Amino acid sequence: MKRRSGAVPAAWCLACLFALAAGAVADDREMVSEIFRTALAEGRTHQLLRELCLRYPHRLSGSPESEAANRWVKTVMEERGLEVRLQEVMVPYWERGDTMVVEVAVDGRTEALSALALGGSVGTPVGGLEAPVIEVDSLEQVEALGETGIEGRIVFFNRALDQGRVRHFEAYMGAADQRVSGAAMAGRFGAVAVLVRSLSFLDDDYPHTGGLRYEEGVRQIPAAAISVRAANRLSLLLSASPQLRVSILMNCRQREDQVSHNVIGELKGSVHPDEYITIGAHFDAWDVGEGAQDNGSGSMQSIEAVYLLQELGYEFRRSVRVVMFANEEYLVGQPFRGGQVYAEEALKKGEKHYAAIETDAGAFTPRGFGVEGPPAMVERVRSWLEYFDTDNTVHYVAEGGGGPEIWVLNELLGTPTFDLRTDTQRYLDFHHSDNDTFDKVNRRELELGTAAMASLLYLIDTHGLTEQPDAER
């Protein structure tokens, strides 16, 4: 790595620095290429992510572990020369507890099904509950069955992801309503609990958690995800014995809201210090696995993207803020509070937010950028694709971009927002489960993501997002 204070050995770098020093636009293709080369050869995102996953695997907003992770990441950013502050964010706080049992009685013996309470779920009574099971494949089916079919039962939502979708997110959205609204719908008709098939493409035994949303005025009933294997098993058992009874015991609970924090690291710009470019990611994670792909990778990439440019000798024209956002995962139907607080403060202070970049797409090979901005801006960003190795890295720019952490900036201040798109075929294999651990992250794919974010940040800062006279640049 070429340290700013050290020697500058590479040929490109002499050329670039000369160009920068002369006030000219550097050869952007060479610069982007060097960003990728350096990230792959010397990037430290992988090592940083390893440390995060090892030290603070569970980072659910509001938890003491999450606040410890915030303190750690503050020092990480300070070590990289950023001026760091903690911004208070009130967040909901839910505790998983230490007991999660789903059992089914088969042929006189008891069989356990792999399960995880859904985030936000109430617990069962202290002694647990036991009831017959009704298997359904949609919210509509619950409505159609009504009280007669539902009351006193455990409702088992077993609609699988549509494997036929190329885009994982379409498959996810096509089944997620069971997890998010299943408990509310079943509760309305008198169910005693809900089991939901995990939102995973794999036929394995990892249950995948995620948030649910209760409905105002409807009795809150316990809800848990069971693994795909457990769902297939339960379905098979039910087809043989429809009268089968399942028992559930879990002691998760909702607690008082807590003070959490956005962690904000700032670097002053040399030309437009009053204009901010935000680059960041949600730093909270579920309390299972290590939150490696979701979203340890995106958080560490955001930090290292900025550091990589600094180490390459790039001097930011605008001020850059690296933000570790609180509270994306667990919301209980409220807005993403980390992004909300960040944008509201910016509005109140009258700050000028030039652009905001986020990522939450896992540590996979980058493929594109999303852009939330006027068509001319999308076109402008698209024209930058010529600087990339499009066969192997970033090759498209899509209209519509950003994410819940930064959309509020767009709504309140009109800030254009951006996000990184990756090859997400494996994303749901890990998502919200004990399978989301550091060892599943490929170093090169992770560092390529850092390089893609650094390149976008560099191009936005250097070229600007609109045509402008040279004097203003």
Which residues form the interface with a copy of itself (CB under 8 A)? Answer: 36-38, 40-42, 162-167, 201, 365, 367-368, 389-393, 395-396, 398, 421, 423-426, 429, 442-445, 448
Residue closer to a copy of itself (CB basis): 202 or 323: 202
Residue 437 CB, shortest distance to a copy of itself, in Å, is 16
Residue 316 CB, shortest distance to a copy of itself, in Å, is 24
Residue 389 CB, shortest distance to a copy of itself, in Å, is 5
Residue 403 CB, shortest distance to a copy of itself, in Å, is 17
Residue closer to a copy of itself (CB basis): 15 or 129: 15
Residue 396 CB, shortest distance to a copy of itself, in Å, is 5
Pairing mode of beta strands 223-226, 193-197:
parallel
The two structure tokens encoding residue 125: 């009574």
Order the strands of the 115-117 sheet from edge to edge: 109-112, 100-106, 245-250, 129-136, 154-157, 193-197, 223-226, 115-117
Question: Between 64-79 and 45-55, two packed helices, what is the crossing angle to 10 degrees?
Answer: 150
Residue 449 CB, shortest distance to a copy of itself, in Å, is 11
Residue 392 CB, shortest distance to a copy of itself, in Å, is 5
- Rounded Cα distance, 151 and 155, in Å: 9
Query: Residue 160 — φ and ψ, nearest 5°?
Result: -80, 160
> Of 377, 387, 385, 388, nearest to 354 (Cα)?
377
Q: What's the per-residue H, E or C state across 91-122?
A: EEEEECCCCEEEEEEECCEEEECCEEECECCC
Residue closer to a copy of itself (CB basis): 94 or 201: 201
- Rounded Cα distance, 370 and 397, in Å: 6
- Rounded Cα distance, 167 and 436, in Å: 20
Residue closer to a copy of itself (CB basis): 7 or 166: 166
Residue closer to a copy of itself (CB basis): 439 or 472: 439
- Rounded Cα distance, 210 and 117, in Å: 9
Residue closer to a copy of itself (CB basis): 164 or 469: 164
Residue closer to a copy of itself (CB basis): 42 or 140: 42
